[in-house]
Amino acid sequence: MPRSRRIVIAVFPDVDLLDVTGPAEVFALANRETGGRAGYDVQLAGPTGGAVTTSAGVRLLADLSFAEVGGGGARGGGGVIDTLLVPGAVDMLPEGPVARIDQDVVAWVKETAPGARRVASVCVGAHVLAAAGLLDGKRVTTHWSTAAQLAAEHPEVTVDADPIFVRSGRVWTGAGISACMDLALALVAEDLGEEVALTVARQLVMYLKRQGGQSQFSVPLSRPPASRRDIEELRTYIAEHLDADLSAGALAGRMALSERHFARVFRQETGTGPAAYVEAVRVEAARRLLESTDEPLERVAAASGFGSVETLHRALRKQIDTTPAAYRRRFRTAT
């Protein structure tokens, strides 16, 4: 008989819809692709059971109330929880999104989590885990828009807003929105192996199964849009011409500005200097090539604009504290 893996996903008013349905679809496809061998049994648990209205306005039907999860509720409530999955909800305030902390949900998670084999949060669900004391002393991630809130409210937690997901022992935390799929695929890979996870990713028509150490967003997206159109156009030029001369002098010449004035304007618009920005974009390009191709390091260095393997080594050491070969071994995704 296949092993049974009970997955309990918390649902509550205004929960993010994809945070619930995305992982559920991954687990369902894992069951299908393994002929049932995966044994995933997904249950939705809500404060009172029954209908729950999500942030998208779509209603979900909880299989169990929180009180029934550990007892003899519907659909076999009371079985051992393999994975407790906690999504989140946000309140949109004038200053931006703020993670909602429902104390009833926090109390239930705090009581339920010790009985689960592993616990995972999706997006701002990390705030719930933190409030329940499950993230103390751990490195975690969450949606980039509420990472500062999480760090400020829980100084005992090390918040890293960059990765797609982070594993710390039996506790996993995932980044925002669509990254819930990556987190769920990583859980499947832990249970059933990389090949099953990649098969599920193909069925989902996901471009690739991203690894946890990859960034939530690209370098251009991580900087605010420039107010000057010429700087935005220059950023596009940089991304499309990585092997060109992108020195501060050459870029200043393209904009017909003195190098000193250009450097000041670029920093004002992007929050960083030209040289640091170009290096970050080139490192991102190199990472993509290392993840998705078998190109020799000489070609990776040339294509990403570093010119030499030595320069590529130095840049990766500086930016992400690893070597090209080590990064490729960890994050290679092409089949």
Catalytic residue set: 123
* CA-based max dimension of the chain: 74
> Which amino acid is located at 197 in the chain?
A
* Token pair of 12 as six digits: 């509550």
Angle between helices 259-270 and 229-240 (to 10 degrees): 90
* Token pair of 40 as six digits: 């995933």
Question: How far lies 87's CA from each of 167, 179, 221, 263, 326, in Å?
Answer: 16, 12, 24, 42, 33
**292 in Cβ contact with 328 (< 8 Å):** no
Backbone angles phi, psi at 226, to 5 degrees: -75, 145
